[in-house]
Structures are given as C-alpha cells and as structure tokens.
Amino acid sequence: MRGEALYVDDLVIEGLLYGRLLHSDRARARIRSIRLPKLPPEVTVVDWRDAPARNQIHIVQDDMPIFAKDEVAYVGDVILMLVGPDEQELQNLLSRIQIDYQELTPVLDPQLSQQVFFDYHYGHGQVEQAFAEADHIFSETFHTGLQEQAYLEPNGLIAIPGNRKMTVRGSMQCPYYVKTALVRALGEAADQVQVVQEVTGGGFGGKEDYPSVLACQLAVAALKTGRPVKCILNRREDMATTTKRHPSRCHYKVAVKAGQVTAMDIDVLMDSGAYTTLSPVVLQRGIIGAPGVYRIPNLRVHGQARKTNTVPNGAFRGFGAPQTFFAVEMMMSHIAAALNQEPLAFKARQLVSQGDETSTGGRYHFYVSLPDLIKRAEELSHYREKRQAYARQTAQRYRRGIGIALIYHGCGFTGNSERDFIKAVVKLKKRTDDRVEVLASNADIGQGIKTTFAKIVADQLALPLEQIIVNNPDTDKVPDSGPTVASRSLMTVGQLLAQAAARLKQVWEPGKEQVIEEHYQHPEYMIPFDMDRFAGDAYPTYSWAVSVVELELDRLTGTADILGAWGIFDVGVPIDYNIVQGQMQGGFLQGLGYACMEHLTYSPAGVPQQTSFTDYIIPTAADVPNLVTDLVNNPFSHGPYGAKGAGEMPMVGVAPAYLEALEQAMNCGRLEHVPFTAEDVLDRLSDADGHLHPDFDTWTWQSKSEAESQPADPRQRKG
Amino acid sequence: MVNAYVPADLGEALRLLQEKTVIPYAGGTDIMVHPQAEAAYLFLRQLPELNQICTTDQYFVIGSAVTYQALLTQTAVRLPDILLQACRQVAAPPIRNLGTLGGNICNASPAGDTLPVLYALDASVRLARLEPAVRDCQNLTPTIGYRILPLRQFIQGVRRTCRRPEELLIEILIPQTHDTLTYYEKIASRKAQAIAKLSFAGAASVSQGQLQRLALAFGSVGVTVVRDSLIEAKIINGSYDPEAAVQAYAALLRPITDQRSTASYRKTVCLNLARDFLTAVQAQVTAGRRGR
Ligand SMILES: Cc1cc2nc3c(=O)[nH]c(=O)nc-3n(C[C@H](O)[C@H](O)[C@H](O)COP(=O)(O)OP(=O)(O)OC[C@H]3O[C@@H](n4cnc5c(N)ncnc54)[C@H](O)[C@@H]3O)c2cc1C
C-alpha cells in the first residue's frame, strides 16, 4: 500500500467546471414551473431540453430520464444541473431555485403499488397434488429491508468533451455499460464515446448501474458548455439518491411428507423503487434461488417487482439472493422446529447433490460440496453441541444462541446472457519489451481483479508478476469483456485470459509485438436456458457456503454480542488466498449489518431518514472480534485453475444464521424480518411477556392428523 | 481563511478570548464535524494548566483538555472506574486520542458519553476568565477569576451551557466518593464509533446496610442528562422500593423517536437498567443489614 492511487476527484483537468444536481424533494409530483434565481454569466443550467438525442438512460430498459421533465418519481430524482467554476456558488444557487410542484400521493409500499414492473412464473412437478398429500403444510411471510452499499468513495465522474468525442472518466464497475448508455443518450457513434475507469473505491453493485445515470447527465452538461464537467456526489447525496438493495416480501407455503419437504409455493415481491434499473435481473436471481439449496420435487415460484416512489433499487452484492435465501433458510428452520427437529439435521437430509435437477430444471453438473462444508463448520464452531446446550440454558439476562445457514451462489450471469448479450472478448498484448498487457474491461473496484488477472497470465506464461500489466480499463483500448458483476470477472473472463495466455505461449516470439484475442464460448454441457419459462441451466456452476453465528443476547437491552462467527466457502480454488479471505471477512460484516443494524427508512412523505454514516450504521471490526473464514477446495473444470464465484457468498448466509441464533437466545418464537434491530428484540420480548398482541406472526401450520390450523404461539418454539 | 491562535499559557488564552471573537478548540472532534470557513479558533491542547490530572483532599481534578486516551493511560491518579468505562466506549482510538472531557462537556450534547457518569458522580466544573476590573489597568498583571458550578447547572440544554463568551472551562472536579456499586451501560447500534441511543450511569454507596448516596443518570433521553434528586431521595429514605422507583422514572423519562432509535426502546431499556441497578443496590443493602 503506497497511497498513490488517485480517485476521479483528485484528477487535475484544465478548464474544469463543476456540476451540481438539483434533486427533487418530493416523492411524487408534477413540476408546474421552475423559478431560477438570477444566474451569473459563468453558470449554465442543464436540463431535459439539452439532451441531444433522447432524454433516457439505457440500463436494462430505458425508463429513467436523464433529467426529469415534468414529473418526479422519488425524493432525489434529478431535475437539472447547474454548471460553473465554483462549487460553493452552485450550491448556494441551487438552494435558491424554487420549484412549484403539484403534489401527488406517493406510493411507498410495494404491496400497495399498482404498477408491476416485472412478473415472472416458473415451477415444476405437481404442486397441488403434493399439498393435497402432505402431512403438514406450513406458511409464513418474510421481509427484508433496504441496504446501502456504503462504498468508501462516493459516486463521481468527469465528462470531457473533445473534438467529435465525448470521454467520461471515473468511479465505475462497468465501463461498457456506461459507454452503451452514453452512445444511446447522445446519439453518437460508438467510436465517438470513450469511457475510462479510474481507481474506484468500492462498488458492491452500487457502481454497476448508477454511473450510467451520472454519465449521461454530465455528458449533456459537457456538450452544452463545451468544457469538462465533474460531479462527485457528497455522502449524503449519494446515500439519499443512488441505488440500494431491493426490500422484499417473500411468502412461502411448504408441504412436508414423511419428514421431507415435498413442495414449495413461493411468492416473491421486490420493491423496485421509482425506475426499473436492474430490477428484472435482480428479481430473476432472487426467484431462481428461492427454494435454496434443497431438493424440492414440486415447485411453484412467482416473482414480481413493483414500482414505488422511492430511490430506484439496483445491484448489490448477492443481487436478489440475500432476500430469498434469508426467507428459505428461516422457513426451513421454522419447519424443523415445528416438527421438533434440529434445524441443521432437517436441512441436511434434503440437500441437493450432483446430478440433481436445479429449481429451473437445469442440472447440478458438478460436485455439491455442502456436506464437506457443514462438516468443517461443525468442527470449527461446535454448532450441534452448542445448539443443544443453549436450548437448556436458564440464565435470565444474558442468553446465548447459535444459528447456521446454507447457501449457494449461481456463478456468473443468469441464463444465456454471456452467450447472447455479453459475448466477452479479451486480448493479451505482448509488447516488444516482452511485457504482457491484459486488455479486458473488468474494473478493479477493490476486489483485487488486477492481481488475480495478472497472476493467471503470469503463471500461464511462466513470467514474473511484474511483467504483466493491468491498467484501468479504457474502452478505446480494451475490448468488451463484459461488466464487473456476479463473480463473473474471474471465473469467466479469467478463464478467457488463461486460454489467451496459453495460446500466446505457443506462439511467443521474444522482442516482437503480438496480440492474442480470445472469445467467450458457452460451456457445451449447459442446458440452454429459456428465459420465458425459466427452464434450463440458469448458471454454469455454483459456489457453496455455510455461515454460522453464535451470539449472546442481553435481554435488558436487546443488544447482542457476537461470540463467534464462521464462514466456510467453496469458491472452487482461490486464485489469491488473501483476496478471498478479504472478501469473506468484509462480506460477513456486510451480512451482519444487513441482519441487525443497517436500518434505512423513509418518512411518510418518502424522504430517506438515514443519509449519513452517523445515522446509517454499518458494522466495524469491533462487532465481530472473532471471525473465522475457511475455504474448502472443489475445482471447477471450466474456471481458471478451478476458480468460480466468491464475493457474494459471505453476505448471503449471515442474516439467516444470525436470526436463527437470535431466535434461540430470545426463546420467544419465530423471527421473520431483517434487519432485526435491538428495538425489534425488545418489542418482541415484551410481546412475549404478554403486554402486546403479536400481530407480526404470519405463520400457519396445518397437519393432516389434526386436520386443523394451529394458531401461532410464539412461546411454543423449541430450540 | 481559518484563523488560529496558539496561546502559550492560560493567561494568554483568556486574554485572546476576551479581545477577539474566537472559538475554543480542544480536540476539535466536535468542531470539525461542521467547520466554519470564517471562524477563528483558539487552540487549547498545548496549555499546561488544562492538561493536569491530580487529587485534592476532596476531589479528583481533571484538566479540561485531557484527552480520553490520556485519562485511560495515566497512572498518577486512581480515577473512578465508571468514568474510565465511559471513556473506553467513546468512539474509537483516533477520536479518543484527540477528544477531551472538556469538549464533551462544553459541546453539551445529550448523547455525550461521559456526561451521565459525571452527573452521577456529582461533578463540578471550574471556569476561568480575566477579571474585568483589571482589564484596563495596563501596569498590573491581569488576574484570573474563577467560578465553580455543578455540572448539572452548567449544562442548560442541547448544546447550551452557561459559559460566558470570555470564559474557559479549565477543570472538572469530581468528589472522591466511596461508591460501593457503580453501573454503566452505553447502548449504541454497534460496538465502536457510535453515538449512544441511550446511556445509563448508576452509583451507590452502601455502608453497613445503609444507603448513603445514590445517583441514577440517564443520557440521550432528554435535552440534557436526566437525574432526579427527589426520586433518589425517596429511594434513600425507603419510600420507594425498586419497582416504585422504576415507576417514578417511567413517569419522568420522555425520550423521543428519531433516526437512531425509538422512544419506546429508549424508555424500556432505561427502565430495565434502572431496575437492574436498583435491585443490585437493594441486594447490597440487605446483605449489609444481615452482616450487621
Ligand atoms: C467520529 C466521531 C465519533 C465520536 N464518538 C463519540 C462518542 O462515542 N461519544 C461521545 O461522547 N462523543 C463522541 N464524539 C464527539 C466528540 O468526540 C466528543 O464530544 C469529544 O469529547 C469532544 O472533545 P473535543 O476536545 O474534540 O471538543 P472540541 O471539538 O474541541 O470542542 C467541542 C465544543 O466545546 C467547546 N470547548 C472545548 N473545550 C473547551 C474549553 N476548555 N472551554 C470552553 N469551551 C470548550 C468548543 O468550543 C466546542 O464548542 C465523536 C466525534 C466524532 C467526530
């Protein structure tokens, strides 16, 4: 670490102007008129009228305007930009702009929203029959909350107009996404748009879609002024107005016969926020994973994403999976408890294994390592012993609990996207000095892709690492090898690089410039995915993980101390052990925040309430002083050196493991939402004391033998 | 342009304070959250008079510019453990290296972590200024005038104290009580670097089955730290048992719901902790009686 890296805000560019955004302060309104203060000559207003081609931003769909024209759809929607040489002056002028709104009632609850953005169905087997024949039928509804990516560096870009060329530089994950959005927004030919990634201080998905938005706004401003224009969001602005994790409501109905789950009927609703951004893809991944890591012979899944007048929700580590994996893990645990079984034993009996069908009728083509991971997790955490011991504890104030969750990550893009849309290309350019430059569009955003790419190429070519050059991607120099998402960069693009390097080695001529190009090939074993029916192999392979959380609850304060935390992961083969450990530890904390701290709410008027790190609390290392992460190798035949996806997994399993542990410590019934804060704990404990009536509990249980619905009794639950 | 003054001693600091419009700046950890471009700051860290820790017959004396880190690492004086507990839970090492007790007090946030403890320990503050009478007389060395105020009187509201513009807080005085039971809890959303949702400090002195002194102080649940002498007196004189006292506090405490927590959570936890503390006090009293 030398501290030499420059963020986009550190770049010195001649003639630079600043752009400051005017955000809507209404959640849903028509704009009747805009009254500007008298503007000094050096300040320019940029709005929808200035969009040269179309006032739309291409993400997956094109529903988000570059600048709001006559209506705003969330608090934060961008109405215009002021551009000028003095940022403070712009800020003062912004505060003097008066907007005459005609207010409309905002829709904040997706369950009340009439506007369905996306609606998907899939399933297999005989669901109705399975329910008819079941011994028990359980149902329950789960909720998950918003989450902010909380990257170190806020979003920021500079647009630089050139001679028949527009260059955008800055903080981003996906240079070619930004480029495509710019080409469409400006109506330019592709070679007139250049996008360069600068050193990026974290993304976690939050710089997958949003940079396309800011890039279009800035490019319009740069076109109008003819000068470079920079906009770095301040922290509050970034937290208040850029994409977050989709809140969800998941309803599960599950049939059990002879101790095995025979059917699941799942309904998933995601809150898309004001625009569609990446909601379709997030929803797809979420519902594909909805049955979890279990063999479910009869399955019906319905998923929707609906519009609300809130910040558009987008990509965030896990991408739909944290929501549904939370729900299914809690559901399985609750069923086990109802049937008087130890949750892990109940789950372990119905795990998928190699050769089984996936939820979408694809195949688990490769070895499913979950039993090995569980074994390792038990060795390290003594889960079973502790689970039993804590079920017998009698302490009053401090009570302990331990929980476990089993999850997977579908590695890479969902469905055939790699084959049909991305069509990744990489190049290796050997220079005359025999140094080799990696040309790929994947961005190092702190996940270490520069290191791992270089290691792969160096090893293939038997060169020292220093001889491999990986620069930040520049679309004028690198081919489109796809975005930096979904753990695809290493597995998919890294594999292309390994192949390219192997070919280069064969033709290597010292002192000569040589270029090798490699194109993506869809693995031949994959069952083609039918996106309309959700049928086939959704992913080329899966990574697996087990998370264990042990905690001690203070029943007087509702706060919990983490006593131990374990994450066991199958990432294929780690290309760089330290990088993977870094991902696993950081991801664990992000998962912990999701489970119990990161609480983000809107006021009744749709104003986000937590827009600073003082109010939006993310965990620090002090919250998990004893975190153990471990890897179990399970090489993937089609990944470089056996590598597959890694970065999402540590995030996904923590919330269900934490809540299972908390349930045991609280010993007063089922928990069904995250974040589950200390406030929630105390509310629930006082409910259990009989002060309040539990109206939160959506659990139902019908048994064939009793042929009647058993009402929920939160005190009945056993560890 | 930021102006800064670095006085060499207390006298110079007080003179600057009297002559110029300057903002006292100790660690700056509260000030720098909202820096003012036009302000002039008066640095205090380097003043020897504000950096001492000592004891007198009756008091622990802590200079207002003593940092948390210095309090936690000094070995000269055996400070009340409950104060150190609170200091340990302030922010994280970088802030503890800069932040001061004086700053925590003068900032007068109801969430200041040391305040409930200082209230419970009956702390006072000593303020200093140049005596007005001497100001015009150039031949005389100006004399410094002091006043001592109980902390509970000094802090008047959210970010409001009765410090006069020309005064500096120079020392915190903590009576050397002989508490047999102290109790401190800071409740925040995470373990480090977090503002308290609420905090509670309890101190009691039990001697031979007699409750001699009792203090319960609640932070972050009102405009200032809440301490109620009447309730305490009734507990001491036996008119309130723990449960009755908890009921009295239930009527007294009126926390609010904000972006950090809810009113009901704050209140419930305060009462839970008060009950827990008072039960422990009662156990000590009972044990003492039995021992007699
Ligand atoms: C990241 C972060 C985390 C924090 N976490 C906590 C926490 O966990 N708990 C907590 O209680 N606080 C916390 N704080 C607040 C702050 O650190 C404390 O209040 C600290 O004690 C302030 O001391 P200081 O010396 O830095 O005050 P300064 O910022 O120097 O001053 C604060 C105020 O007091 C005045 N002042 C200071 N000294 C004197 C004096 N001798 N005479 C007269 N006026 C004076 C100043 O003019 C100013 O108005 C945090 C702050 C930050 C930035």
H or E stretch covering A15: none
Q: What is the structure's pLDDT at A719?
A: 37
Tell me the three-class secondary structure of A295-328, residue by residue.
Answer: CCCEEEEEEEEEECCCCCECCCCCCCHHHHHHHH
Q: How far is CA A338 from CA A139, A141, A389, A407, A690, in A?
A: 12, 16, 19, 22, 22
State in Å: Cα A91 to ligand 1 middle.
28
Identify which of B191, B193, B261 has the shortest CB distance to residue A679: B261
Query: CATH second-level architecture of B181-290?
Result: 2-Layer Sandwich (3.30)
Helix crossing, A654-666 with A383-391: angle to 10°? Answer: 30
At A142, the pLDDT band (50, 70, 90 cuts) reads very high
Task: Please choose, from the candidates A217, A231, A241, the residue with its C-alpha nearest in 3D space to the C-alpha of residue A74.
Answer: A241
Task: Residue B61: count other Cβ atoms within 10 Å of its Cβ.
Answer: 17
d(CA A259, CA A685): 31
Does ligand 1 lie within 6 Å of residue B103's CB atom? yes
Query: CATH second-level architecture of B47-175?
Result: 2-Layer Sandwich (3.30)
In the predicted model, residues of chain B with pLDDT beneath 50 are: 134
Assign residue A359 a region: left if phi > 0, alpha if psi is -120 to 50, beta otherwise? Answer: alpha
d(CA A169, CA B256): 45
Q: What is the structure's pLDDT at A695?
A: 58
At A625, the pLDDT band (50, 70, 90 cuts) reads confident
B193: chain A residues, CB-CB within 8 Å: 620
Q: What is the pLDDT averaged over residues A592-621?
A: 96
* Whether the predicted pLDDT of A315 surpasses 80: yes
Predicted confidence (pLDDT) per residue in A242-271, tens digit: 999 999 999 999 999 999 999 999 999 999
CB interface of A with B, residues 396-415, below 8 Å: 397
Dihedral angle of Cα A284, A529, A489, A174, to the nearest 10 degrees: -60
Task: Residue B33: count other Cβ atoms within 10 Å of its Cβ.
Answer: 9
Dihedral angle of Cα A537, A539, A544, A550, to the nearest 10 degrees: -100
Question: Does A608 sit behind a cis peptide bond, omega within 30 degrees of 0 on the bond before it?
Answer: no
**Global confidence as pTM:** 0.95
Give alpha helix (H) positions in B43-187: 68-73, 81-88, 93-98, 101-107, 114-120, 151-154
Output the CA torsion sign for A122, A123, A128, A132. Answer: negative
Edge to edge, the sheet with strand A17-23 lists: A44-46, A78-84, A17-23, A229-232, A156-162, A165-170, A193-197
Least Cα separation, residue A601 to chain B (angstroms): 8
Q: What is the structure's pLDDT at A689?
A: 62
At A2, the pLDDT band (50, 70, 90 cuts) reads confident
Q: How far is CA A534 from CA A164, A411, A442, B160, in A?
A: 44, 17, 28, 63
Least Cα separation, residue A680 to chain B (angstroms): 9
A677 and B187 in contact by Cβ < 8 A? no
Does ligand 1 lie within 6 Å of residue B219's CB atom? no
Q: What is the structure's pLDDT at A688?
A: 67
- Give the gyration radius of chain B's Cα atoms: 20
Question: To test the ligand 1 pocket, which listed residue (B104, B154, B187, B195) has its Cβ within 8 A of the most ligand atoms?
Answer: B104
A558: chain B residues, CB-CB within 8 Å: 265, 269
d(CA B73, CA A187): 65
Maximum distance among all alpha carbons in chain A?
82
Assign residue B171 a region: left if phi > 0, alpha if psi is -120 to 50, beta otherwise? Answer: beta
Q: Are strands B40-43 and B23-25 parallel, antiparallel or unpaired?
A: parallel
Helix crossing, A383-391 with A370-381: angle to 10°? Answer: 60
Dihedral angle of Cα A73, A75, A80, A83, to the nearest 10 degrees: -160
Dihedral angle of Cα A75, A587, A615, A624, to the nearest 10 degrees: 170
List % helix, strand, coil for chain A (3-state, nearest 5).
30, 25, 45
HSE-up of residue A312 (Cα within 13 Å, Cβ side): 25
Contact A318, A674 (CB under 8 A): no
Give the mutation candidate from B33, B95, B189, B197 for the A interface (greatest A CB count, under 10 A).
B189
Q: What is the structure's pLDDT at A716?
A: 45
d(CA A254, CA A298): 10
Q: What is the structure's pLDDT at A717?
A: 42
Task: Please choose, from the candidates A16, A17, A20, the residue with its C-alpha nearest in 3D space to the C-alpha of residue A90.
Answer: A20
- Give the gyration radius of chain A's Cα atoms: 26
Go through chain B and tell me how many residues it has.
292
Q: What is the structure's pLDDT at B37?
A: 84
Predicted confidence (pLDDT) per residue in A426-455, tens digit: 999 999 999 999 999 999 999 999 999 999
Task: Residue A613: count other Cβ atoms within 10 Å of its Cβ.
Answer: 14
In the three-class reduction of DSSP (H, G, I as helix; E, B as strand; rest coil), residue A437 is classed as: strand
Q: What is the structure's pLDDT at A595?
A: 98
Q: How far is CA A544 from CA A213, A401, A410, in A?
A: 34, 24, 9
The token pair at A528 is 């083609």
Domain boundaries, chain B: 47-175, 181-290
Task: Please tell me the residue having the least CA distance from ligand 1 atom 4.
Answer: B91
Task: Please tell me the residue having the least CA distance from ligand 1 atom 12.
Answer: B112
In the three-class reduction of DSSP (H, G, I as helix; E, B as strand; rest coil), residue A526 is classed as: coil
Give the mutation candidate from A610, A612, A679 for the B interface (greatest B CB count, under 10 A).
A679
Q: Are strands A425-430 and A398-410 parallel, antiparallel or unpaired?
A: unpaired
Question: To test the ligand 1 pocket, which listed residue (B14, B29, B224) has its Cβ within 8 A of the most ligand atoms?
Answer: B29
β-bridge mates for residue A400, sequence order:
A552
CB interface of B with A, residues 190-219, below 8 Å: 190-195, 197
The token pair at A31 is 């704009």
Task: Please choose, from the candidates A689, A367, A674, A417, the residue with its C-alpha nearest in 3D space to the C-alpha of residue A537.
Answer: A417
Q: Which domains does chain A have, with CATH numbers?
A: 8-106+150-241 (3.30.365.10), 417-519 (3.30.365.10)
Residue of A nearest to B187 (CA): A557
Task: Tell which atom from ligand 1 comes closest to the C-alpha of B68.
Answer: 21
Task: Tell which atom from ligand 1 comes closest to the C-alpha of B100.
Answer: 25
B265 and A679 in contact by Cβ < 8 A? yes
Dihedral angle of Cα A152, A153, A155, A156, to the nearest 10 degrees: 180
In the three-class reduction of DSSP (H, G, I as helix; E, B as strand; rest coil), residue A685 is classed as: helix
Look-up of token digits 């039971």:
B181
Q: What is the structure's pLDDT at A3?
A: 84
Whether chain B has a CB inside 8 Å of the CB on A706: the answer is no
What are A346-353's contacts with CB under 8 Å, separation 24+?
Answer: A346/A259, A347/A293, A347/A294, A347/A406, A348/A374, A349/A259, A349/A260, A350/A260, A350/A261, A350/A294, A350/A295, A351/A293, A351/A294, A351/A295, A351/A406, A352/A293, A352/A294, A352/A295, A353/A295
Task: Please choose, from the candidates A471, A553, A510, A482, the residue with its C-alpha nearest in 3D space to the C-alpha of residue A169.
Answer: A471
Predicted confidence (pLDDT) per residue in A675-710, tens digit: 999 999 999 998 766 544 455 679 999 998 754 445
A397: chain B residues, CB-CB within 8 Å: 276
Identify which of A597, A601, A620 has the shortest CB distance to residue B192: A620
B260 and A615 in contact by Cβ < 8 A? yes
Question: To test the ligand 1 pocket, which listed residue (B6, B46, B107, B169) has its Cβ within 8 A of the most ligand atoms?
Answer: B107
Please state, rounded to an integer, the average pLDDT across all residues of chain A: 95
Identify which of B192, B194, B269 has the shortest CB distance to residue A556: B269
Q: What is the structure's pLDDT at B142?
A: 77
State in Å: Cα A212 to ligand 1 middle.
41
Q: What is the structure's pLDDT at B140?
A: 63
Residue of B nearest to A611 (CA): B259
Q: How big is the CA angle at A674 (ends A668 and A680), to the nearest 5 degrees?
A: 50
Task: Please choose, from the candidates A679, A1, A32, A648, the residue with its C-alpha nearest in 3D space to the C-alpha of residue B262.
Answer: A679
Whether chain B has a CB inside 8 Å of the CB on A558: the answer is yes
Task: Residue B212: count other Cβ atoms within 10 Å of its Cβ.
Answer: 14
List % helix, strand, coil for chain B (3-state, nearest 5).
35, 25, 40
Least Cα separation, residue B108 to chain A (angstroms): 18
Q: What is the structure's pLDDT at A523?
A: 94
The token pair at A680 is 């929630």
Give the mutation candidate from B191, B195, B261 for the A interface (greatest A CB count, under 10 A).
B191
Contact A287, A269 (CB under 8 A): no
d(CA A621, CA A534): 40
Identify which of A557, A559, A622 has the shortest CB distance to residue B192: A622
Q: What type of residue sits at position A10?
A: D
Q: Are strands B40-43 and B3-5 parallel, antiparallel or unpaired?
A: parallel
At A714, the pLDDT band (50, 70, 90 cuts) reads very low
Q: What is the pLDDT averaged over residues A285-312?
A: 98
Task: Please tell me the residue having the least CA distance from ligand 1 atom 33.
Answer: B107
B191 and A622 in contact by Cβ < 8 A? yes
Contact A277, A271 (CB under 8 A): no
Identify which of A557, A610, A619 has the shortest CB distance to residue B272: A557
Give alpha helix (H) positions in A486-548: 488, 494-507
HSE-up of residue B71 (Cα within 13 Å, Cβ side): 31
Task: Please choose, from the candidates A242, A159, A176, the residue with its C-alpha nearest in 3D space to the C-alpha of residue A207.
Answer: A242
Whether chain A has a CB inside 8 Å of the CB on B91: the answer is no
In the three-class reduction of DSSP (H, G, I as helix; E, B as strand; rest coil), residue A88 is classed as: helix
Q: What percent of chain A has pLDDT over 70?
A: 97
Q: What is the structure's pLDDT at A397?
A: 95
Q: What is the pLDDT averaged over residues A300-307?
A: 98
Contact A323, A268 (CB under 8 A): yes
Q: What is the structure's pLDDT at A708?
A: 47
Whether chain A has a CB inside 8 Å of the CB on B92: the answer is yes
Q: How far is CA A461 from CA A456, A466, A469, in A?
A: 9, 12, 13
Output the CA torsion sign for A599, A600, A603, A608. Answer: positive
Task: Please tell me the residue having the least CA distance from ligand 1 atom 19.
Answer: B104
